[in-house]
A and B are shown apart, each in its own frame.
Chain A
């Protein structure tokens, strides 16, 4: 896991797109609700979450997803999502999620797991499944397969720090360790 970044260098993610449509449910779409119900209060069963990620919608996803791939989702993407949804996406190797729209809670839970979710209205009209695109969370810049660049709201420096650290607990641990030394 990376340590919290103290530099302002804007890291860019580059990956292959898995594109999904509108109104994809988080708890009972990206994953399956049983994982939330049966896992309540227990440590995450990360391998089980990885194996069920998107299997309802794209059965090939768990076996074919590659580290660094990017998910592009439609309107109200991942609605009704517990944190297990973010854990499943992260465990699958997804490096970023770009959506037409979503609940703020999804952005928050994903960020705490070190997974950037960016709001990019219009993204599903300009990106196709399999495209290779680049995302720079610190600036909100997205470079499409044809070289066009589009913008989304940039993350705050604190959010970039959490993402670079691989999640909130890592970021806080690094910060507290630094303050003790």
Chain B
């Protein structure tokens, strides 16, 4: 790459964190993160590693954010209660003030709702789906068990990603959401490997018409294209969201240079989209809902870091209001955070769900990874989850379809996979 070419958002954020003017795609650089966020499930491993290393403190405890989101309300016999106990003790000993216990919500939501992720922030995390914070212009770099290294040293190595630019044009048709868009993008690019070692940078005129919640749904699922991370241009709508939550903390909106070096520039016309269903067991199996309509379901779930925000619950409620789910269907709804849960209560959405026969669970990952509301035998499910591989939700014979909150709620009412648009008519 020519040293003179412009820098993308991801390059600029990483260059700042590496103490450099510029960085080049493919380069390995050491970066200092603004925050390091982890969930509870891997902490028994992290704890063992801390003991092997002989470390008794973090380099910058104020940068650490530890969230219990996978296992809210550990049940009798569960090993997770011991993890909760260990983390309460460890965070006290290590001086980690940003420790969030059961039912606070998912890391993805905690980061933006509480203003940790702001424009230009670099967040080291333990999950690719946390690219949802790209909606406020923050960059997620997902790590593995090595996320312990930046906690101990306040820096770690990063491979500078290439950037693929996706221009969004047009507007979403009736009954179609950002979730349908990202399922189409995954269908088009996962198997080809177009986005390997890339940051997917979204922008374009259609962005203005997308809510912050829809933007986070797109970003949270973009990881399934095989990309390293994803981010979005920050517009006035995003800035207003940030300003309400920054609480005086600084931030700097970062934009790509006009001559930035993109690995590819793609355009998606939102007006051409239809409701999509991703058919198991691969992420690339997205089809128009018409192709699988009529398939009987046993289970439906709204939740996961893709679709557990207030707009998602409003979308489900728009379908469910005044209706009952089919008698043979079990339906679970997991709000993404305490804030979402409380807002849903204030708007009367929880009442809609209860009267429809759905079960509202406490804020957390819950059904998405098979912790609660699990499947059995050859159950057929349709959910807003992140994964559809066999065995993800408790049974290797079960079939998990992925779709938008509209399509999931409509299918729960119909008792079979169905196009949500007729059930939405006159309601939004």
Contacts and interface: CB of A to CB of B under 8 A. Distances in A.
B142 A173 contact: no
Nearest to A40: B41
Contact of B27 (A104, A153, A173): A153
B38 to A, nearest CB: 15
B347 interface: no
A75 B194 CA distance: 11
Nearest to B282: A80
Contact of B30 (A23, A158, A176, A180): A158
Interface stretch (B49-57, B205-213, B232-240, B320-328): B49-57
B386 to A, nearest CB: 14
A129 interface: no
Given A103-B197, A169-B53, A172-B53, A156 B144 contact: no
A153 B25 CA distance: 10
Contacts of B26: 119, 153
Interface in B124-150: 128, 142-146, 148-149
Contacts of A159: 28, 157
A54 B266 CA distance: 36
Contacts of A83: 144-145
B161 interface: yes
A130 interface: no
A55 interface: no
Contacts of B157: 111, 156, 158-159
Contacts of A169: 49, 52-53
Contacts, number: 82
Instruction: Specify the main secondary structure of chain B where it touches its partner.
Output: mixed
Given A41-B44, A109-B144, A172-B152, A101 B53 contact: no
Interface string A16-41: 00000001000000000100010001
B159 interface: yes
B24 to A, nearest CB: 9
Contacts of B146: 108-109, 111-112, 168
B226 interface: yes
Which size bracket describes the interface of A in this complex? 20 to 34
A140 to B, nearest CB: 10
Given A37-B391, A41-B44, A104-B197, A168 B149 contact: yes
Given A172-B149, A176-B53, A75 B159 contact: no
Interface string B348-360: 0000000000000
Interface in B43-65: 44, 49, 52-55
B145 A112 contact: yes
A37 B390 CA distance: 11
B238 to A, nearest CB: 26
Contact of A79 (B52, B142, B144, B226): B226
A37 B52 CA distance: 26
B154 interface: no
A173 B54 contact: yes
B196 A76 contact: yes
Contacts of B28: 153-156, 159
B73 to A, nearest CB: 19
A155 B144 CA distance: 18
Contacts of A70: none
B294 interface: no
Interface in A91-117: 101-105, 107-109, 111-112
A76 B53 contact: no
A133 to B, nearest CB: 21
Interface string B19-43: 0000000111110000000000100
A54 B50 CA distance: 32
Contacts of B391: 33, 37
Contacts of A10: none
B54 A156 contact: no
Nearest to A82: B144
A176 B26 CA distance: 30
A108 B55 contact: no
B228 interface: yes
B193 interface: yes
Nearest to B45: A41
10 contacts: A33-B391, A41-B79, A75-B193, A101-B196, A112-B144, A112-B146, A159-B157, A172-B53, A172-B149, A173-B52
The 5 closest A-B pairs by CB, nearest first: A156-B28, A76-B193, A112-B146, A172-B53, A173-B53
Interface of A: 23, 33, 37, 41, 75-76, 79, 83, 101-105, 107-109, 111-112, 119, 153-156, 158-159, 168-169, 172-173, 176-177, 180
Interface of B: 26-30, 41, 44, 49, 52-55, 79, 128, 142-146, 148-149, 152-153, 156-157, 159, 161, 191, 193, 196-197, 226, 228, 391
Given A154-B28, A172-B149, 4 more contacts: A33-B391, A76-B196, A101-B193, A172-B153
